[in-house]
Structure 1
Amino acid sequence: MNAPVQDVAVLILPGWQGSDAQHWQSRWEALYGYQRVQQHDWQHPRSGDWQVQLEEAVLRQTLPVVLVAHSLGCLLAARWAGHSRHAARVRAALLVAPPDTETIENRHLLPGWQPIPRAALPFASLVVASNDDPYCSLARARAIASDWGSQWQELPTCGHINSASGLGDWAAGHALLQGLIARTTEH
């Protein structure tokens, strides 16, 4: 089992409907003590409200922040970074399975989450996506990662990289997080 990361505050950003108990994000909270950014409404996510919750969570931290986002949490991180005056408090972000909220199939599910932010993120980031994610094609995920200036990691046949993917504690994902953090502190 990987050790928890040190000298940073890790904030967990679940996506639409939150992350259930079997989701790797929830398991990382239990294993490593990472803090979930709570939202008022997981079922009907409002972009502005979610950004306020993230802003408040970042401002409560005394250590540099690392974001661990899944699905809609990835778009939250990008939207927040484009508007917050406190984005410099974030050292890095692990962005897993960003959804394509601009497709016809997904647009109606998450009103208010279009367009997808395309500006480069002001912190180091790694986008992880699967080649069979039903909510975002690999080509779109790669384009989003490129626009954000993120590093890229493809996972084969892991779907939406959620509970249904059967990743358990997802030790390999935690190793990616540890590597990302290590690279941001090597300067």
Structure 2
Amino acid sequence: MHGHQPTTLVLPGYLGSGPGHWQTRWEALDPAFVRVPMPDWDHPSRDAWCRTLDAALAAARAPVVFAAHSLGCLTTAFWASQYASAAQLAKVAGALLVAVPDPAGAHFPQDATGFAAVPLTRLPFATIVVASSDDPYGGAPFSQTCASAWGSRWIGIGARGHINADSGLGDWDEGRGWLASLAAAR
């Protein structure tokens, strides 16, 4: 499994990630970053998103790391705990989980279905949860609860909103460094 760069599956959240988003910028910078094409960005369904992630992983060359934002984080947790086979899990080196949203929060999109009752079980690969202190979709305490349950390293980056295009992160080299550390640790 060693000897080549990992494939990075990019998992955007609700509505997808637009042109200024760090996920989109990473894809433009590196062809090893591949966006998982969810079936409906405007009406996310946990079941459809998890099955789409599973199919994308099946087609990807191992090792794989996930670069997940917002609803992509919840998709990763549900997929790993309820959908994934042992063979699929073995392909995953780690996941960067950025801006985990709280399905019980006031701003959680009503069009997203099946994401409540976030699985709080240890994830079977290395994970880093990155949180902002003023994220309207999920505060630091919620992300710390998830990180603790998932066995993740938790990193707070101060007041950066939803850690998206509006957060002014540019190419977000720091985030890419954390993602690279997951791939290297395998």
- Relative to the length of structure 2, the TM-score reads 0.92
| Distance change in 2, residues 1:39/1:155 (3 Å) | same
The letter for the 1-side match of 2:176 is H
Matches within 5 A, 1:35-114: 35-82=34-81, 83-85=83-85, 86-106=88-108, 108-114=110-116
Correspondence 1:27 to 2:29: no
Correspondence 1:135 to 2:134: no
| CA distance in 1 between partners of 2:48 and 2:152 (Å) | 25
Cα deviation for residue 153 of structure 1 reads 0.6
Cα deviation for residue 181 of structure 1 reads 1.8
Deviations 1:129-174 (A, max 9, x none): 0111111111111111111110111101111100010111111111
| CA distance in 2 between partners of 1:137 and 1:92 (Å) | 23
Cα deviation for residue 111 of structure 1 reads 3.0
Runs of 4+ aligned residues of structure 1 deviating over 4 Å after TM superposition are: none
Match of 1:3 in 2: none
| Percent of paired sites with the same residue | 44
User: Is the 2:62–2:92 Cα contact (8 Å) retained in structure 1?
Assistant: no
For structure 2, the residue ranges without an aligned partner over 5 or more in a row are: none
CA RMSD of aligned residues (A): 1.3
| CA distance in 2 between partners of 1:29 and 1:35 (Å) | 7
Correspondence 1:17 to 2:15: yes
More off after superposition, 99-108 vs 146-155: 99-108
SS in 2 for 1:106: coil
The letter for the 1-side match of 2:39 is H
Cα deviation for residue 104 of structure 1 reads 4.3
| Distance change in 2, residues 1:68/1:137 (3 Å) | same
The letter for the 2-side match of 1:25 is Q
SS in 1 for 2:108: helix
User: Is the 1:102–1:116 Cα contact (8 Å) retained in structure 2?
Assistant: no
Cα deviation for residue 37 of structure 1 reads 0.2
| Distance change in 2, residues 1:66/1:147 (3 Å) | same
User: Is the 1:72–1:98 Cα contact (8 Å) retained in structure 2?
Assistant: yes
| CA distance in 2 between partners of 1:176 and 1:61 (Å) | 21
| Distance change in 2, residues 1:107/1:40 (3 Å) | closer
- Relative to the length of structure 1, the TM-score reads 0.91
Equivalenced residue count is 179
| CA distance in 1 between partners of 2:99 and 2:107 (Å) | 16
Match of 1:173 among 167, 172, 175: 175
| CA distance in 1 between partners of 2:45 and 2:113 (Å) | 8
For structure 1, the residue ranges without an aligned partner over 5 or more in a row are: 1-5
